[in-house]
Amino acid sequence: MAQVRRRARLAAALGAVVSLLTAGALGIGTATTASAAEGCSVSFKIVNQWSGGFQGDVTVKNLGSPVSSWNLQWTAASGQTVSQAWNATVTQSGSAISAKNVSWNGNLGTNGTATFGFISSGGGTTPSAFTLNGVACTGGVTSSPSATPSTSPSPSVTPSQPTGTTPVAINGQLKVCGVNLCNQYNKPIQLRGMSTHGLQWFWGCYNDASIDVLANDWKADVFRAAMYVNEDGYVTDPAGFTAKVNTLVDEAEQRGMYSIIDFHTLTPGDPNVNLENAKTFFRNVATRNAAKKNVIYEIANEPNGVSWEQIRTYANQVIPIIKAADPDAVILVGTRGWSSLGVSNGATHQEILNAPLNFDNIMYTFHFYAASHKDNYRSEVRAAAAKLPLFVTEWGTVSATGGGAVDIQSSTAWLDLLDSLKISHVNWTYSDANEGSGAFRSGTCAGGNYGTSQLSESGQFVRSRIVTADNFPTS
């Protein structure tokens, strides 16, 4: 939310930058020379599978003398093309695939093992002809049964005209086309809505009455469930907080609003610290909500104190988990410097352009607080929006502390810019928090009256911008 509550520690990045390269191109990997291994065995496991692709894990065991670096090579089955990998640097030329160690996992003693993962197109047929540093894996290859593929609607099907009038009824399953968020008719749209505050603190604000007001009076298109990971959030009760998020997804769906499931990482700012929690959480919510058309996944709220490469490493491991269960979903990825595209750290969006995520239906998030973030931030968004799909999943009318006076002038300039670029936005916060960013006056939620008389200055302004008519083209 606010920079006053943003702090982090730097954790080691465990992934590798992976490029899918054509014949003759150079991979990114270690330059050390490996001694020849004398044999190996391989375990090939299909972790997840979906229509047109799969996630595989490979464990190689060195049966020979210790080596200081390794290169596992194999022949891909028909149709398999690797597009992402982690814990190894993978290159491909035709059907020949090479996976080299990264800096921290090159040493393989006798009977030592190394494990890496990858995403590939095609079916989950076990590859063949594995060699380690040029020596055949005489110890054999074991493989696990393929996971059942999930299915998705054919992209060639033209949807009929909508029969309902809610945002979800009109737009259906969303997708990313170019730099835009698009509806089922492949038309760029803009969603406008609100974010909860921390569910651990303001759960009483999110009931039938308040959500009815958001959908029917405010006419919001999207409702973001901000599930803090730490700060007395998810880690204290994973099942309970997962249930809260699923409840809000259902409440939004019943009213025809889109729902953003926000894995609200803040402290620590390195999302890799909560990687396993993220995998578990998103596996659960994506599997449970895969059939819904209203769900958008935000995998890391505000990374801070980390590089884009560390964020990218995290994303490359979490995104496949979601796609395995819900392959059509739009996924939002936090950016460096509290989701400022790196501006708050003196960087720019160019670092993302230099190393983008190679998945479809990915958008990058931007956050701003109008009283603190002004022309230089707006200039960066204007430049980035021409090249990257952006989604403002959090913004405030006040300062980066979440408090202070409402800056109507800067807030207006921001929303006019986002409208002109068709960038979706979600305001912080739909709550009665005793701070300038709260949409309601303090004490509102306990009283149960969510009418306009209870709105704060921020709430009045934000509602006035959300309630205006949407532009959702269908043809």
Q: pLDDT tens digits, residue range 323-373?
A: 999 999 999 999 999 999 999 999 999 999 999 999 999 999 999 999 999
Identify the DSSP state of 162: P
Residue 426 pLDDT grade (very low, low, confident, very high; cuts 50, 70, 90):
very high
* Contacts of residue 132, Cβ cutoff 8 Å, sequence gap at least 6: 37, 39, 40, 60, 62, 70, 71, 72
Q: How high is the pLDDT of residue 373?
A: 97
Give pLDDT, residue 362: 97
Query: Can you tell me the distance from the alpha carbon of 151 to that of 148, in angstroms, rounded to the nearest whole number?
Result: 10
* SS3 state of residue 286: helix
Neighbour order of strands in the sheet with 53-62: 82-86, 113-121, 53-62, 40-50, 141-143
Q: Which residues are catalytic?
A: 302, 394
pTM of the model: 0.70
Residues 6 or more apart whose Cβ sits within 8 Å of residue 36: 64, 67, 133, 134, 135
**Nearest residue to 100 via CA among 134, 65, 64, 70:** 70
Sign of CA dihedral 206, 167, 334, 87: positive
- Of 155-169, 188-202, 263-277, the poorest mean pLDDT is in 155-169
Q: What does each C-alpha distance from 284 to 202, 239, 240, 249, 421 come to in angstroms?
A: 23, 10, 12, 13, 34
Question: What digits encode the pLDDT tens for the residues 8-55?
Answer: 332 333 233 333 333 333 333 333 334 444 678 898 888 666 666 777
The pLDDT score that the predictor gives to residue 50 is 66
Q: What percent of the chain has pLDDT over 70?
A: 87
Contacts 24+ apart (CB under 8 A), 135-139: 135/36, 135/37, 135/38, 135/39, 135/40, 135/64, 136/39, 137/39, 137/40, 137/41, 137/42, 137/60, 138/39, 138/40, 138/63, 139/39, 139/40, 139/41, 139/42, 139/61, 139/63
Average pLDDT, the chain: 87
Write down all domains in the chain, each with its CATH number in brackets.
40-143 (2.60.40.290), 165-466 (3.20.20.80)
